[in-house]
Amino acid sequence: MPTTPQTLPPTAPTTTVTPSELGRHLLTIRGFHFVLGALGDPYARLLRGEGDDTAALGAEIRRAGPLFRSHLGTCVTASGEAAAALLRDPRLDTRHPGGDRAHLGENLWETWRTCHVTPMDDALLTLPLADYRRLDRVNRPVLGPVTAGAWRADVRSAAGRVADRAGETFDLAADLVRPAVAAALSRVLGLSGPGPDEGGRAAERELAELLPRLGVALDAVLCPPRLPVARDLEEAVARARVLVHDLVTARAAEPGDDAVSAMLATGLGEADVAAACLLHLVAGAEIAAATAADAVVALLDHPGQWAVVCRSPELAADAVEETLRWSPPVRLVSRTAQEPLAAYGQDIDADAHVVIVVDAANRDLAGVADPDRFDLAHAGAPSLSLTGGGPEELVAPLARVVATEIVRAAATRWPGLRADGAVVRRMRSPVVRAVVRLPLCR
């Protein structure tokens, strides 16, 4: 049975959790991560999100066996074979068998349940996998693996317009990637039209301010943000719901040349169209931004490969695919056992937590020569990134198009682009490891 609401109201249900209760819950889990990480648990160190060498931690987890039991109680895999099997296992899902999600109010010292850290139901990030399959039937005819490319011209125009505003020096995240993602999604979803009217620019500006606030959601499922960040995330999700509600209502009354109108034209319900649209804002935007930023960082760190993409901008798509394999935007995928199972030497109880370390597992898949190296020649190599049937797979086709066109925009305009400082990544970001700052000179 579907669990998403039959309507998507403009605001989320009012929570009964007080700020002090939420803060105490987040600090308790943070304490678990800190103490167990200090004692050497590699999964706890990953979750601390404090600048540890994530590739080294992934390799350490893999050396511990195909399925490593963390002191947090989570079974963790960085094995390519085990990860591929667990992502396909129907006995694993995104929720607990009874439907519980965030464990606010529990005595975590007794339950040790650190699998759903921050409430994310209002952002639709913790639906059962069956609901994502249903929503994919809304998304696929318009923004699926085959159809998302139809919006490439709009995305290319939006990304190019943002890139053309860059000065001689600019910041990768603040001046290129995030405004380009906002401009592209505004146009594709229908928040703004094709022209440079003031209403369209206002929609882009609002989305550009909103998306970084929403972007912490992918990390917050597993890693506790600071209380002010968690509260700001709640407000951002509420605002995104209003935008989506108003957009779908407007396009139902007066269709346009946008993806939301195209979804509604298939006869699918407004609630499911709104839900799919919200996922593109909450998950898709951050996945596109993280992929584009990491692709540019990797290419600039490998000047020979940057030169190849500048000479042949169509290879921006290969750069994005290699980035998804080598430095995926969703590095940790969380699942919960729906029934007892035995896998790879571990007896996993019903309700137990399982995590796939995707970037490490990608480097353990057969058929990739020198998998620890970023190399455009790996394009087409096996990868588990953005698979598994969750929200990241639903939004992946459009995110790929957006990330590719941002990389293409940079490569066609600035062959001499170089970093003018160090990459700064968001703290407490073990899932995305989002780039928040990189000064560039062109």
Report pLDDT digits (tens) over 9-63: 665 554 567 888 889 999 999 999 999 999 999 999 999 988 778 999 999 999 9
Position 276 pLDDT exceeds 90: yes
| Band of residue 193 on the pLDDT scale cut at 50, 70, 90 | low
Position 286 pLDDT exceeds 50: yes
CB environment 295-313: b (16+ within 10 A), e (fewer) = bbbbbbebeebbebbbeeb
Identify residue 103 by its one-letter amino acid code.
H
Average pLDDT over residues 125-138: 94
C-alpha–C-alpha distance, residues 348 and 70, integer Å: 13
Query: What domains can you pick out in the chain, each with its CATH number?
Result: 74-100+121-441 (1.10.630.10)
Is the distance from CB of 308 to CB of 379 less than 8 angstroms? no
| Band of residue 268 on the pLDDT scale cut at 50, 70, 90 | confident
Locate tokens 């290699």: which residue?
322
C-alpha–C-alpha distance, residues 144 and 137, integer Å: 9
Beta bridge partners of 354: 75, 335
Half-sphere exposure of 331 (CA within 13 A, CB side): 26
In terms of DSSP bridges, do strands 418-419 and 439-441 run parallel, antiparallel, or are they unpaired? antiparallel
Asked which of 107-121, 131-145, 260-274, 308-322 is least confident by mean pLDDT, the reply is 107-121
Locate tokens 């206002």: which residue?
202
Position 2 pLDDT exceeds 50: no
Position 196 pLDDT exceeds 60: no
Average pLDDT over residues 264-270: 89
The model's pTM is 0.94
pLDDT of residue 103: 79
Closest by CA position to 346, among listed 41, 56, 55, 79: 79
Position 378 pLDDT exceeds 70: yes
Asked which of 136-140, 277-281, 327-331 is least confident by mean pLDDT, the reply is 136-140
Helix axis angle, 178-189 relative to 152-163, nearest 10°? 140
